[in-house]
């Protein structure tokens, strides 16, 4: 292929990536080193009590933002270096002057609490998604052809549902007097409050993520199973290999590149968990790194947003994703070089 032809095909994708990925990422990186604050002025305000003959007035100093000629709040931007990162991490709060490191104090910091849940959510759901997807793919692959289409359709339904709608549906089943909550209460004879504690909410989130994402792994594995070497499988059967041995020594090595691919996609997606936090309304008990960035960007009562801290949180989230992906990317690179 000529270079001009190659460039003509690649250039649109490169331009879009630079415009919608690289440029915003650089902008967020730069904003994490600058602090934007509204310009505040102190004014003297006089307040008077009701009355005509005995009216008393008092003056008080109050602060208010300065507005420009268009009625917008004036702001100033200053370079603060790594201060925004220190404000997000708050390392001093995690150490007690007497006992040293304090895990309870660390979990009282929003960033570390969000990081703990994000890592737990990511590493627990990853193997469950792979195992569930592989199990569904093997079951469908062994289903009679007359029923295979219907089974595939039913298996894909959780993946088709919009993430927020699916999370809300699971929540409605358990919140308050939800259908499943009433069934559990009738079976146990005790009052159940699933959304009153953090651990039960986390379990529901883990269940929902596996239920929602496993069909994606199923589709990938099912496509990979169609390319398994039938001669190798038949030779293993002749040699007396059991079903589990054929799966371990023939099928799984063939599917290993797909397992790495699913792991890459899932790590990037699960580490940015957000829909479950919104759908389950778990902000009081559980938050994620992505939700922390969203919360910092939410305007307060005065209309101000912590853009600098949100940018620092977003960059730390990006660094975490890169660290998680490095082992899988190195394996993919070694497999690619070994193939050549």
Q: Is the pLDDT of residue 56 over 80?
A: no
pLDDT at 307: 87
The pLDDT of residue 100: 62
User: Which pLDDT score is estimated for 161?
Assistant: 85
Give the residue carrying structure tokens 């190659």. Answer: 6
User: What pLDDT digit, counting tens, does each position of 160-173 carry?
Assistant: 888 888 888 888 88
Residue 40 is predicted with a pLDDT of 77
What residues contact 137, with CB distance under 8 A and at least 6 apart?
217, 218, 221, 222, 224, 225
Class of domain 113-297+304-339: mainly alpha
How many CA within 13 A on the CB side of residue 215?
A: 14
Q: What is the mean pLDDT of the segment spanning 150-178? A: 84
Cα angle 53-58-59, degrees, rounded to a multiple of 5: 145
User: Which neighbouring-strand residues pair with 96?
Assistant: 100
Res. 38 pLDDT band, cuts 50 70 90: confident
The whole-number average pLDDT for the span 73-89 is: 85
pLDDT of residue 206: 93
pLDDT of 98 higher than 60: no
Contact 170, 252 (CB under 8 A): no
* % of the chain surpassing 90 pLDDT: 25
Hey, which bits of the chain come out as E strands?
Answer: 34-38, 40-48, 57-65, 75-79, 95-96, 100-101
Under DSSP, the state recorded for 251 is: I
């Amino acid at each position: 292929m000529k270079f001009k032809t190659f460039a003509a095909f690649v250039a649109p994708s490169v331009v879009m990536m630079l415009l919608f990925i690289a440029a915003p990422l650089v902008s967020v990186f730069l904003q994490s080193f600058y602090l934007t604050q509204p310009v505040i002025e102190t004014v003297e305000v006089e307040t008077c009590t009701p009355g005509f003959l005995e009216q008393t007035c008092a003056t008080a100093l109050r602060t208010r933002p300065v507005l420009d000629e268009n009625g917008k709040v004036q702001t100033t931007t200053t370079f603060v270096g790594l201060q925004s990162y220190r404000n997000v991490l708050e390392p001093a709060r995690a150490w007690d002057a007497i006992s040293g490191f304090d895990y309870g104090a660390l979990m009282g910091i929003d960033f570390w609490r969000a990081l703990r849940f994000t890592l737990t959510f990511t590493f627990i759901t990853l193997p469950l998604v792979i195992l569930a997807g592989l199990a569904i793919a093997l079951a469908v692959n062994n289903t009679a052809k007359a029923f295979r289409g219907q089974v595939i359709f039913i298996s894909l339904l959780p993946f088709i549902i919009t993430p927020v709608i699916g999370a809300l549906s699971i929540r409605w089943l358990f919140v308050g007097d939800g259908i499943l909550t009433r069934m559990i209460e009738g079976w146990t004879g005790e009052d159940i409050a699933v959304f009153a504690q953090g651990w039960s909410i986390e379990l529901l989130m883990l269940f929902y993520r596996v239920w929602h994402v496993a069909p994606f792994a199923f589709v990938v594995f099912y496509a990979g199973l169609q390319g398994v070497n039938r001669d190798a499988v038949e030779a293993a059967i002749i040699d007396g290999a059991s079903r589990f041995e054929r799966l371990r020594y023939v099928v799984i090595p063939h599917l290993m590149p797909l397992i790495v691919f699913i792991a890459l996609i899932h790590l990037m997606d699960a580490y940015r968990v957000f829909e479950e936090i919104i759908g389950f309304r778990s902000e009081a008990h559980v938050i994620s790194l992505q939700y922390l960035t969203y919360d910092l960007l939410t305007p307060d009562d005065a209309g101000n947003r912590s853009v600098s801290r949100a940018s620092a949180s977003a960059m730390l989230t990006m660094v975490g994703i890169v660290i998680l992906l490095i082992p899988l990317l190195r394996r993919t690179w070694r497999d690619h070089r070994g193939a050549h």
